[in-house]
Amino acid sequence: MHVNVEREFRGEDLLIARETRLAWNLLIPTLVIFVLVAARPLEQTFIRSLTDKRFAGEAIPQFVGLENYSKLLSIRFDRVPCRIDEETDGCSIRPNGTVRWESIDRDLLTDGYRTVWNIPLPLSDNRSLAVSSRDRDFLRSINTTLIFTVVSVSLELLIGLGMALVVNSHFRGRGMMRAVMLIPWAIPTVVSARLWELMLKDTSAGIVNKVLMDLQLIAAPRAWLSEPSLQLPTAIIVDVWKTAPFMALLLLAGLQTIPKDLHEAASVDGAGPVRRFFSITLPLLRPAIVIALVFRTLDALRVFDLFNVLFGRQQLTMATYNFETLVSRQLDGYASAISVIIFILISIFAFMYVRMLSVEDEQR
């Protein structure tokens, strides 16, 4: 009997070894393509990031080491007082109601640091935390990209989940509803951005201003694309309108894998729709939610065409700032360093989502 058990385990080991070899044989072509298409260009980008190479320039690039990364990642935090108003002996206030703060030290200005934000300190009425950087446009582009990603993906998840729940239910015309739902996502981003640009004109000719004025929600036309405080919310609205159907499509696929017997049994036991959603639908939908978040977060972090069409240089994301650095300023080495940092940030988010997905698998 001991011999039979040993043979059985040996057979299982051989089966596992054959499956492992088959898996590697299937993966090798993909890995080769990955090395040729992704790894090799990434290597060249990293090498260029260590030089002062100029785009389309004939000069021989010089090795500068980590100087490009030092400039991009040089961030300081300093406490600065507010400017004193001689008439009131208090902090000087701008016409828009914000406080005027003193600049950072002259030596820091000489080194290339410029203030990006002044954050008022909660325990001090006349001091703020000055966040400065040697490349404040890059720091602002990171802030813009992260805010855009977090807000837009969160809204797309909530709206997409609602849309998926609706089209997953049984009603007349459900097939037509699913087809119509995907129209915004099927339109190319550049085309949809141009359409929204026409609708968001800062005069009464813009349909958005016209509708809001007719509803008496605004008293005068708003400059949705040129007013700094409205640019980012506008971009988020446009992106949510276009991409929420894609999120709904991914979540709908997950909803259709949930057995209907579970809902029927829970309904017989007296569970209402809300209880069934949080106890059955949402837990079983988590893997699909994680996959949808991976796709949308990685896509939002490298957003380019939407901002480039709507705002040009007025509102920069990491991708549009990288484009401006490479094409307009022709700093190939510096732009390559920006690309490497973008790659690292996207990799961090991807790793976090993969870890979330692996935790879900282990719990199951």
Give yes or no: residues 108 and 227 share one domain.
no
Higher pLDDT residue, 32 or 340?
Answer: 340
Single out the residue in 134, 150, 184 at which a domain terminates.
134
Is residue 151 located within the same domain as residue 232?
Answer: yes
How many structural domains is the chain composed of?
2
Per-residue pLDDT at 217 exceeds 60: yes
Supply the pLDDT for residue 358: 65
Query: Are 81 and 210 in the same domain?
Result: no
Query: Which residue among 134, 159, 179 closes a domain?
Result: 134
**Residue 277 maps to which CATH number?**
1.10.3720.10
Residue 281 lies in a domain: yes
> Do 205 and 245 fall within a single domain?
yes
In a domain, 337, yes or no: yes
pLDDT at position 359 over 70: no
Q: Are residues 123 and 203 in the same domain?
A: no
Is 302 contained in some domain?
A: yes
Whether residue 15 is contained in a domain is answered as no
Task: For residues 91 and 183, state if they share a domain.
Answer: no
Mean pLDDT of the chain: 86
pLDDT of residue 57: 78
216 occurs within a structural domain = yes
Edge-to-edge, what's the strand order for the sheet holding 75-81?
75-81, 127-133, 114-120
**Span 5-43, pLDDT tens digits:** 455 545 566 777 888 888 888 888 888 887 788 788 888
pLDDT at residue 93 above 60? yes
Is residue 281 predicted with pLDDT exceeding 60? yes
Q: Minimum mean pLDDT among 225-234, 263-272, 299-308: which range?
A: 263-272
**What is the number of alpha carbons within 13 Å of residue 304 lying toward its C-beta?**
9
| Whole-number pLDDT of residue 95 | 85
Average pLDDT for residues 251-273, to the nearest whole number? Answer: 83
- Domain with 83, as residue range(s), is 75-134
Same domain, 102 and 169: no
The pLDDT score that the predictor gives to residue 88 is 81
Domain shared by 229 and 305, yes or no: yes
How open is the CA angle 258-262-264, to the nearest 5 degrees?
Answer: 120
Please, which residues have CB within 8 angstroms of residue 210's CB and are 6 or more apart in sequence? 204
pLDDT at residue 12, as a whole number: 61
Q: How far apart are the first and last CA of the chain?
A: 35
Q: Which of 114, 134, 154 is a domain's end point?
A: 134
161 and 309 inside one domain: yes
